[in-house]
């Protein structure tokens, strides 16, 4: 009896996870976001943060921020709801992440991000990229559940430092600029946007960075 109950609970969690993903897809479709890049390319990694493929492909530099989301959600939910089963906490984390994925693709949030130095022309995520952002969060959550706390903290700091060095952005910098733009950070990021080079796709205007 106990074994059958465990299997049933697992099936329920899977069904709820799929329902959350379906909600994410449906909401983004209603908001008018494309299924994938308009270029028709399918890439595992979009390396140039200023290229039109960032926020459209499977992964890019901002995927690191979503892994850090998973670290944070695991720690916060473990502290706030220690008695909840792991599967339920993961579903809660997915709910938070998907809520943000939907919110960041609304016209109001997109317009707010366009005011940042690295996001002029930002138009939101493709549905593929948004789903992968949720998957990256889940990967971070699972990593944090297995690794010692100090390893997770060190990994989070390392990912943020890597993004800051590589593209002058990251989760912390993005949140700071979204809540209250900081002039010297904006100038630092603007310098990157002006000096970095990329080859735009034929017939496409530049669409810089996605948001974490």
Residue 124 lies in a domain: yes
What is the predicted pLDDT for the residue at 10? 77
What is the predicted pLDDT for the residue at 48? 84
Largest Cα span, the chain: 64
What is the predicted pLDDT for the residue at 61? 94
Residue 173 lies in a domain: yes
CB 57 within 8 A of CB 34: no
Which tokens go with 13?
A: 């969690």
What is the predicted pLDDT for the residue at 21? 98
pLDDT band at 87 (very low <50, low <70, confident <90, very high): very high
Structural domain tally of the chain?
1
Residue 202 lies in a domain: no
> Taking the chain, what is the end-to-end CA distance rounded to the nearest angstrom?
43
pLDDT band at 127 (very low <50, low <70, confident <90, very high): very high
Which tokens go with 148?
A: 């010692």
**For a pLDDT cut of 70, what percent of the chain falls above it?**
83
Mean pLDDT rounded to a whole number for the chain:
85
Q: Is the pLDDT of residue 206 over 80?
A: no
Count other Cβ atoms within 10 Å, centred on residue 152.
Answer: 21
Query: CB-based contacts of 117: which residues, under 8 Å, 6+ apart?
Result: 186, 187, 189, 190, 193
Residue 55 lies in a domain: yes
Measured distance CA(40)–CA(43) in Å, rounded:
10
What is the predicted pLDDT for the residue at 119? 61
* Residue of 82, 76, 52 lying closest to 204 (CA atoms): 52
Phi-psi region for residue 85, left (φ > 0), alpha (ψ -120 to 50) or beta? beta
Q: Is the pLDDT of residue 86 over 90?
A: yes
Residue 107 lies in a domain: yes
Q: Which segment, 97-101, 110-114, 203-207, is predicted with the most confidence on average?
A: 97-101
Helix (H) / strand (E) containing 142: helix 127-146
pLDDT band at 6 (very low <50, low <70, confident <90, very high): low
Q: Is the pLDDT of residue 207 over 50?
A: no
CB 71 within 8 A of CB 140: yes
Measured distance CA(167)–CA(182) in Å, rounded:
17
Residue 205 lies in a domain: no
CB 172 within 8 A of CB 102: no
**pLDDT tens readout for residues 149-204:** 999 999 999 999 999 999 888 898 888 877 877 777 777 766 766 565 444 433 44
Average pLDDT over residues 97-118: 86
Residue 97 lies in a domain: yes
* Residue of 38, 61, 208, 199 lying closest to 128 (CA atoms): 38
Residue 38 lies in a domain: no
Structural domain that includes position 123: 9-33+49-195
What is the predicted pLDDT for the residue at 36? 95
3-state helix, strand, coil in the chain (%, to 5): 65, 0, 35
């Amino acid at each position: 009896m106990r074994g059958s109950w465990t299997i049933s609970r697992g099936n329920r969690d899977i069904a709820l996870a799929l329902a959350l993903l379906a909600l994410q897809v449906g909401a983004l479709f209603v908001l008018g976001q494309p299924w994938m890049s308009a270029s028709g390319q399918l890439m595992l990694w979009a390396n140039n943060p200023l290229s039109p493929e960032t926020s459209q492909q499977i992964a890019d530099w901002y995927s690191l921020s979503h892994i850090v989301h998973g670290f944070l959600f695991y720690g916060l939910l473990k502290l706030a709801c220690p008695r909840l089963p792991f599967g339920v906490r993961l579903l809660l984390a997915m709910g938070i992440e998907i809520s943000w994925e939907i919110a960041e693709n609304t016209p109001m949030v997109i317009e707010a991000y366009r005011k940042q130095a690295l996001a002029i022309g930002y138009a939101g995520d493709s549905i593929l990229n948004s789903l992968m952002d949720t998957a990256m969060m889940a990967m971070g959550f699972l990593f944090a559940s297995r690794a010692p706390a100090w390893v997770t903290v060190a990994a989070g700091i390392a990912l943020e430092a890597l993004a800051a060095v590589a593209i002058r952005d990251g989760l912390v910098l993005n949140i700071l600029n979204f809540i209250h733009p900081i002039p010297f950070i904006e100038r630092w990021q603007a310098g990157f946007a002006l000096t970095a080079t990329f080859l735009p796709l034929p017939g496409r205007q530049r669409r810089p960075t996605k948001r974490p």
